[in-house]
């Protein structure tokens, strides 16, 4: 035993034990229900929440989106309430399109830019009342919104945790809601919002989604989340309802022509290299930019950029044969490197090999011929390289007339 040394009395310092901060993923409002169905135990990190990548088979889940109806938890989306007398001015200052044309009870897709006209993020804007908006997007925007709103009479709140949300997508989604006695969907047009009840729970429904098909998003209070889920699931058998994971949603997203930050483009707020962010014109989102409206963030830069040829541009491309070309390089005449593929997919519904490609000017803008994609294939542990011809096509790859039909079809 070691004896304390003589001399100065030793002071006992009681260490203050702080429990280690948990750095894992947080369960979302539907977690218990999803976990019970997650036979793959495959979770991904979506804004700190455990989000299912795939529950049992991505093929089943994908075809459920296209042929039945599906439930996907979108609660991790960032959601902000923008309210007050200047709310419309603030939202109009934020986004590049004219928000004055958005009536209460309607939703729109919008993008916003920094002072250099480079895209920061995209999202959907819900106009809940004249002076009350909700912004839904992928990445946190509170600091940016505070900067935008400085000097205006408006309150901005992060309501991400106050709202649980489900995406109900698929051809039979309207029939499912109908079977639950939801009348409001008959008159609900695409991008409309209505207040409904599912069981005892108050739910806001918007006819929005990322699949290019009939579908809804349901917004509710987190304590109601499990009850709404149970009601939908109980009624869903007749309509082929299936809970799905992120991978299937991603397939439908590419088919429907939507871009994803961090995959297809990089936010100007997170890019370090000056040539990494992209302008709306480079992303092919010209229609989202209303240069005629009064000043909004980045307008002067966009006015200048509108007169210039983009240095590069994002295109929808179709590639020959069937192997997806994710992350492949694009060549002109098989020789000169002129771009790269971001998202890519063999589309089971379109029966086409589709992708998004960044092409340096002038390729895609004037010279569209003789473009090739270099695909690496692993066939039974052996890598092979394949040059596949690609051509530029129109977006979206998939959109069904059901998406717009009002009242919605009873499949």
**Interface with other proteins includes 307 (CB under 8 A)?**
no
Terminal Cα distance for the chain, rounded: 82
Among 3, 10, 273, 295, binds other proteins (CB under 8 A): 295
Subset of residues 59 to 98 that bind other proteins, contact rule: CB under 8 A: 89, 93
CA distance 140 to 118: 17
**Interface with other proteins includes 118 (CB under 8 A)?**
no
Q: Six-digit token pair at 108?
A: 């729109």
**Interface with other proteins includes 109 (CB under 8 A)?**
no
Nearer to other proteins, 58 or 120 (CB): 120
**Interface with other proteins includes 236 (CB under 8 A)?**
no
Listed residue (84, 81, 167, 158) closest to 125, CA to CA: 81
Binding span for other proteins by CB under 8 A among 60-68, 178-186, 235-243, 294-302: 294-302
Q: Six-digit token pair at 375?
A: 């695909």
Q: Computed from CA positions of residues 169, 175, 178, 183, in that sequence, does the dihedral angle turn out positive or negative?
A: positive
Nearer to other proteins, 153 or 186 (CB): 153
Among 130, 147, 153, 384, binds other proteins (CB under 8 A): 147
Nearer to other proteins, 101 or 304 (CB): 304
Sheet containing 155-158, strands listed edge to edge, beginning at the edge strand earlier in sequence:
106-113, 119-129, 132-137, 78-83, 155-158
Among 42, 44, 138, 152, binds other proteins (CB under 8 A): 152
Listed residue (232, 237, 226) closest to 36, CA to CA: 226
Listed residue (105, 184, 181, 193) closest to 407, CA to CA: 184
Give the single-character DSSP code of 44: E
**Residue position matching structure tokens 């307008």:** 299
Among 19, 24, 151, 307, binds other proteins (CB under 8 A): 151
**Residue position matching structure tokens 């991904």:** 44
Binding span for other proteins by CB under 8 A among 126-134, 166-174, 297-305, 403-411: 297-305
**Interface with other proteins includes 383 (CB under 8 A)?**
no
Among 56, 98, 114, 158, binds other proteins (CB under 8 A): 114
CA 158 centroid distance within chain: 18
Residues 6+ apart with CB under 8 A from 329: 337, 339, 340, 341, 373, 374
**Interface with other proteins includes 150 (CB under 8 A)?**
yes
**Interface with other proteins includes 300 (CB under 8 A)?**
yes
Q: Are 356 and 259 in contact (CB under 8 A)?
A: yes
Nearer to other proteins, 160 or 297 (CB): 297
Count of residues near other proteins by CB under 8 A? 16
Q: Six-digit token pair at 288?
A: 């989202």
CB of 137 to other proteins, least distance (A): 16
CB of 282 to other proteins, least distance (A): 19
CB of 293 to other proteins, least distance (A): 11
Nearer to other proteins, 148 or 228 (CB): 148
CB of 300 to other proteins, least distance (A): 6
CA distance 101 to 192: 14
Sheet containing 241-243, strands listed edge to edge, beginning at the edge strand earlier in sequence:
193-198, 201-206, 215-220, 164-169, 69-73, 241-243
**Interface with other proteins includes 290 (CB under 8 A)?**
no
Among 170, 171, 298, 339, binds other proteins (CB under 8 A): 298
What residues line the site for other proteins (CB under 8 A)?
89, 93, 114-115, 144, 147-148, 150-152, 294-295, 297-300
């Amino acid at each position: 035993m070691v004896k304390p040394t003589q001399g100065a009395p030793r002071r006992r310092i009681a260490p203050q034990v702080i429990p280690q901060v948990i750095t894992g993923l947080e369960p979302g409002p539907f977690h218990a229900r999803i976990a019970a169905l997650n036979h793959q135990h495959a979770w991904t990190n979506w804004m700190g929440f455990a989000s299912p990548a795939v529950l049992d088979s991505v093929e089943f889940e994908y075809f459920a989106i296209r042929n039945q109806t599906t439930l996907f938890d979108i609660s991790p989306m960032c959601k902000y309430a923008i309210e007050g007398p200047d709310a419309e001015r603030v939202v109009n200052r934020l986004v590049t399109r004219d928000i004055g044309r958005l009536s209460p009870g309607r939703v729109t897709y919008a993008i916003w830019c920094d002072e250099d006209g480079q895209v920061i993020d995209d999202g959907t804007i819900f106009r809940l009342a004249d002076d009350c908006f909700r912004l839904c997007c992928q990445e946190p925007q509170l600091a940016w919104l505070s900067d935008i709103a400085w000097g205006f009479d408006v309150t901005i709140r992060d309501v991400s945790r106050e709202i649980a949300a489900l995406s109900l997508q698929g051809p039979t989604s309207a029939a499912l809601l109908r079977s639950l006695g939801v009348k409001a969907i008959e008159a609900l047009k695409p991008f409309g919002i209505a207040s409904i009840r599912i069981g005892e729970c108050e739910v806001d429904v918007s006819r929005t989604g990322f699949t290019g098909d009939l579908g809804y998003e349901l917004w509710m209070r987190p304590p109601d989340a499990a009850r709404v889920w149970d009601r939908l699931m109980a009624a869903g058998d007749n309509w082929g309802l299936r809970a799905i994971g992120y991978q299937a949603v991603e397939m439908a997203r590419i088919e429907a022509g939507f871009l994803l930050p961090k995959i297809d483009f990089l936010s100007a707020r997170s890019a370090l290299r000056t040539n990494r962010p992209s302008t709306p014109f480079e992303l092919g989102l010209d229609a989202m930019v209303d240069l005629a409206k009064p000043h909004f963030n980045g307008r002067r830069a966009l006015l200048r950029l509108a007169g210039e040829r983009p240095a590069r541009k994002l295109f929808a491309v179709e590639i020959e044969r069937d192997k997806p070309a994710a992350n492949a390089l694009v060549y002109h005449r098989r020789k000169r490197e002129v771009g790269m593929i971001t998202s890519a997919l063999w589309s089971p519904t379109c029966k086409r090999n589709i992708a998004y490609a960044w092409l340096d000017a002038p390729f895609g803008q004037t010279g569209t011929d003789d473009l090739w994609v270099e695909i690496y294939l692993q066939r039974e542990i052996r890598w092979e390289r394949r040059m596949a011809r690609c051509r530029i096509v129109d977006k979206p790859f998939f959109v069904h007339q059901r998406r717009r039909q009002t009242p919605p079809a009873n499949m």
